[in-house]
Chain A
Amino acid sequence: MATSVIELNHIQKKFGKFEALKNVSFTLSSGQVLGFLGPNGAGKSTTIRIILGMLKKTAGTVTVFGHDAWRDDAVIHPQIAYIPGDVYLWPNLSGGEIIDLLLRLNGRDHNQKTDDLMQRFKFDPTKKARTYSKGNRQKVALIAALSQDADLYIFDEPTSGLDPLNEQTFQQEVLKLKQAGKSVLLSSHILSEVERMCDSIVIIRDGSVIESGNLDQMQHLARLKVEVTTTTANDDLARVAGVHDLTFAAADHTKAVFTADRDELSRIMQSLATASILDLRVSPPTLEDLFMRYYGKQGESYAAE
């Protein structure tokens, strides 16, 4: 079994009376690329800051490389490369200076990889940080993080300011890390990014983890999306167990769109067959569907089921 790199157990975090994290548990195993999803304000960045020992948890345990994240930050940090969601830089230093400094503080140095990355991201290191756009500030953190040979990479919405080309470059770099067997925690809103790169995902909402696991498994467990056209009206569908979110596209109720529980598929098909099927499309849920379901208002009821 792979050793766990990050282990969070029932993490709770209160800021005064406000409970930012209620119950967050998940594990990142060695060599795994874990997607960390959730709506704005769900507690993603708070969780990451607890992992980095910048915030003190109220309850629970966090270990990174088997060490306590708060107490042993000195042991943990040299092995970590981190990109914050919002990168703020000393306005008076140039990008090149900051990249070098960040590398040196972790005991590394400006290397060939640094120059390559600067070229690939088309980054001008001579400008003062004051003049950088959000994307360029993000590149500073990206280049410093990716040109460091770390064991664990933590990315907090790393591409939110990048253009699609740079985004692609970033994804290629992460895939390289994956091939090299590095562990990555990636918090992101870009689902295609997560779908392409991550083995498993954790979804957090209102400070609690509401779903976690292997992406394939989750897609398997989730409902299928069904679009069906029949010759006669399909009114019975509403009464069939396992049919959800039913809407009719045509006034005569011959076109239906709904989601279906996999366990009830045969019963649903029987019901559909009585109305004689003209056209049928069944699609597995995309991460986007999962995401919408968990994020939206339905999330609560869905998670409760």
Chain B
Amino acid sequence: MTRAIKVAHLFPELLNLYADQGNLAVLCQRGARRDVSVEVVPVRLGDPLQLGDFDLLLLGGGSDREQAVVARELFRYADDIKAGIELELPVLAVCGGYQLLGQYYELPDGTRIPGLGAVDVVTKAGPANQRLIGNVAITWDHGSARDHNTVVGFENHGGRTFHDYNALGKVIRGHGNNGVDGKEGIVYKGVIGTYIHGPLLPKNPHVADFLLQRALRYRGHPDHLDDLDDGLEWLAHGTVLRMLSIKTGDQGVTI
């Protein structure tokens, strides 16, 4: 029997700064190849968000202007989203979306732009013209793919993010949440928040499968996923590791 899950792509018209639809293409195709139907529903500004319909939320990043619009819109659902997350609702939040899940974004003058407060994460604007930009590689120990213990991509953010949860991974090369504490992203229940784009999922198929399994479980389906031929995926993944002079062995990266 086909297992079906439903993904809400939140405000694609505003939050698609870093090619986030690439993440959706990956979820859909990797689902389809395992007989899991992944339906993506774009939720646009002004559309009602029926949170109960969905098994995964995708929250991308936008420009400052666009993100302010989204924050205002999402406030109405802040309590629902928070409750959903506590019940293991999977969320993938990238860049601006990651910041938006938190308590606030503090501007240089101390003004705090409130976020959804769904997780206890705060972000502060970094010094002007000191964005954290570049290829990034972090550790990965959440899924089952033991021989692939890294996540790679590109980061480009001005904000410095701080929290006490588990990180998505430890920074091997790059900056991560804030360039200081060595953490990148967040994993809390079903939530993955990260600054890594590129987009995140094509070069990190283990993260894509992790999210798919989370969503399947959330919907009450069995979460088994057959292995796929991911030769191209790991080739692209390895390209970034090599660019960052990270040596890999049979057991993945020795960290």
Q: Decide if A and B are genuine partners.
A: no
Residues of A within 8 A of B (CB): none
